[in-house]
Amino acid sequence: MELFDFPNKEIWQKRCDWIENEIESNMTGGSYLVSDHATALFADLQASYCIGAWLLVIVLSVSIIDAHLRETEAINDKIETAKLLNDYYEGPFDINWLRRLRNKYVHVDVDNPALKMNHQYEKREEMEQDATKAVKMIIKAFFQSPGT
């Protein structure tokens, strides 16, 4: 598939089903408190994942986890993001890996650019793997505190 080709329905459905299965397999408790703000952002992230907008998924993922943890765990909109993630994220993956990856893509480093013109073509598989891991991290954050 080329970068700007719309994924066929089978690919779209496979990605959509994967996200739904991840959500279902992580819902182990009876109830969860999930941030409304984060849920609204997650809807766009799901669409982005299904079409293969990997960079967008990675960039948006930190904002989603941040919003969720601020509203449901920390109940604090003033805490610094790095501290918030370190103090409240309980998933099995290194949250700082995701934050650093996101920052690498968002903040330009003129001397050592993370993105180059051909990045989307040369690094598609790696970006897809990173985006998939990011989605798993969001879902883990959403369902890390059952019974609330």
pLDDT at 54: 95
pLDDT band at 146 (very low <50, low <70, confident <90, very high): confident
pLDDT at 1: 53
Helix (H, G, I), strand (E, B) or coil at 13: helix
Domain ranges across the chain: 33-142
E strands, 13-122, in order: none
Q: Which of 50-59, 71-80, 99-108 has the lowest mean pLDDT?
A: 71-80
Calculated CA dihedral for residues 74, 76, 80, 81, nearest 10 degrees: 60
Q: Considering the chain, what percentage of its residues have pLDDT values greater than 90?
A: 70
pLDDT band at 31 (very low <50, low <70, confident <90, very high): confident
Question: CA dist 54 to 2, 18, 51, Å?
Answer: 14, 15, 9
pLDDT band at 20 (very low <50, low <70, confident <90, very high): very high
